[in-house]
Amino acid sequence: MIPGRSLLVVFTITLTIPLNLICQQTDPYHLSSGGFGYMLVKDPGRSLWWCEGAYKVMRDTPLPSAREDTILLWSAGNEYEAFQLVINTDSRMEDLRIISSDLVSGRNIIEKQSVEIRRVEYVKISKPTDSYGYSGYWPDPLPLVNGPTTAFGGENTTFWINIHVAGATPAGIYRGTITIGNAYWERAIPVKLTVWDFTLPEVPGVRSGFGLSVDKIAKYHNLKSSGDIRETFDLYMKAFRDYKIAPYDPFCLYPIVEKVSGLEWEGGIFDFNNSYNGDYSLMIEDNDPAGAPAARYKTNIELDAFKKYILQWNIKGSKENQQYCILLEGFNIEGEKLPYENKMEVFNCDTIWKSQAFAPGTFGDDVSHVSFSIFPSFRTAAGEDTGTVWIDNIVFSEAGGSTNMLKQSDFEFKADDIDIELDFTDFDKAGIRYLDEFGFNSFRLYLKGMGSGTYYSRKESVFEGFRQGSPIYDRLMDKYLRLMQDHLEERGWLGKEYVYWFDEPGKKDYPFVREGMETIKKSAPRINTLLTENEPGPEIMDVTDISCTIFHKVKPRKAKNIVNSGQEYWSYLCTAPKSPWVSLFIDHDAINLRMWLWITYAWDLNGLLVWSTNYWDSYSASPSGYLQNPWTEPASFVQGYGWPYGKQTVWGNGDGRLFYPPNKDPENDKNLYLTGPVPSIRLEFLRQGIEDYEYLIMLEDLVDKNARQNNSLMREAKKLLDPQGKLFTDGKTYTKNPNDILEYRKKIAYMIIELKNKLK
Is the confidence at residue 4, as pLDDT, over 50? no
DSSP letters spanning 241-260? HHTT--BS-TTTTSPPEEEE
Q: What is the pLDDT of residue 540?
A: 81
Burial (CB < 10 A; 0-12, 13-18, 19+), residue 696, is buried
With bands split at pLDDT 50, 70 and 90, how would you rate the model's confidence at 536? low
With bands split at pLDDT 50, 70 and 90, how would you rate the model's confidence at 624? confident
- On whether the CB atoms of residues 462 and 284 are closer than 8 A, the answer is no
Chain segment 402-448, per-residue pLDDT in tens: 999 999 999 999 888 899 999 999 999 999 999 999 999 999 999 99
Is the confidence at residue 454, as pLDDT, over 60? yes
Residue of 582, 662, 537 whose CA lies nearest to 232: 662
- 124: Cβ contacts below 8 Å, ≥ 6 apart: 136, 137, 632, 634
Q: What is the pLDDT of residue 649?
A: 83
Q: What is the pLDDT of residue 579?
A: 96
Is the confidence at residue 261, as pLDDT, over 80? yes
With bands split at pLDDT 50, 70 and 90, how would you rate the model's confidence at 584? very high
pTM greater than 0.85: yes
User: Mean pLDDT for the chain?
Assistant: 94
Q: What is the pLDDT of residue 538?
A: 62
Burial 162-174 (b: 16+ CB within 10 A, else e): bbbbeeebebbeb
Rounded to an integer, what distance in angstroms lies between the CA atom of residue 270 and that of residue 263?
A: 11
Is the confidence at residue 330, as pLDDT, over 70? yes
Region 195-216: mean pLDDT is: 98
With bands split at pLDDT 50, 70 and 90, how would you rate the model's confidence at 709? confident
Backbone torsion region of residue 640, taken as left when φ is above 0, otherwise alpha when ψ lies between -120 and 50, otherwise beta: left
Q: Specify the DSSP class assigned to residue 616.
A: -
Is the confidence at residue 2, as pLDDT, over 60? no
Rounded to an integer, what distance in angstroms lies between the CA atom of residue 212 and that of residue 355?
A: 49
Chain segment 462-478, per-residue pLDDT in tens: 999 999 988 899 999 99
Q: What is the pLDDT of residue 305?
A: 83
Is the confidence at residue 136, as pLDDT, over 80? yes
Domains of the chain: 36-199 (2.60.40.10), 264-412 (2.60.120.260)
Is the confidence at residue 605, as pLDDT, over 50? yes
Q: What is the pLDDT of residue 5?
A: 37
Rounded to an integer, what distance in angstroms lies between the CA atom of residue 657 and that of residue 659?
A: 6
- Separation of first and last alpha carbons in the chain: 25
Looking at the DSSP assignment, which residues form a beta bridge with residue 257? 423
Q: What is the pLDDT of residue 621?
A: 79
Is the confidence at residue 369, as pLDDT, over 80? yes
Residues in the chain: 760
Rounded to an integer, what distance in angstroms lies between the CA atom of residue 322 and that of residue 310?
A: 22
SS3 363: coil
Region 375-387: mean pLDDT is: 94
Rounded to an integer, what distance in angstroms lies between the CA atom of residue 684 and that of residue 679?
A: 8
**Stretch (H or E) spanning 98:** strand 93-100
Q: Where are the alpha helices (DSSP H) in 662-729?
A: 681-705, 712-720
With bands split at pLDDT 50, 70 and 90, how would you rate the model's confidence at 17? very low
The C-alpha angle 331, 332, 338, rounded to 5 degrees, equals: 50
Rounded to an integer, what distance in angstroms lies between the CA atom of residue 733 and that of residue 13?
A: 13
Q: What is the 3-state secondary structure (H, E, C) of 308-335?
A: CEEEEEEEEECCCCEEEEEEEEEECCCC
Is the confidence at residue 327, as pLDDT, over 90? yes
- Its sign, for the CA torsion 609, 615, 618, 624, is negative
Residue of 190, 181, 161 whose CA lies nearest to 43: 181
Q: Where are the alpha helices (DSSP H) in 459-535?
A: 471-491, 510-523
Region 726-741: mean pLDDT is: 98
Backbone torsion region of residue 439, taken as left when φ is above 0, otherwise alpha when ψ lies between -120 and 50, otherwise beta: left
Chain segment 280-324, per-residue pLDDT in tens: 999 999 998 888 999 999 999 999 988 999 999 999 999 999 999
- On whether the CB atoms of residues 562 and 583 are closer than 8 A, the answer is no
- On whether the CB atoms of residues 504 and 474 are closer than 8 A, the answer is no
- 362: Cβ contacts below 8 Å, ≥ 6 apart: 305, 306, 307, 308
With bands split at pLDDT 50, 70 and 90, how would you rate the model's confidence at 708? confident
Q: What is the pLDDT of residue 535?
A: 66
Region 26-38: mean pLDDT is: 96
Is the confidence at residue 1, as pLDDT, over 50? no
Is the confidence at residue 12, as pLDDT, over 70? no
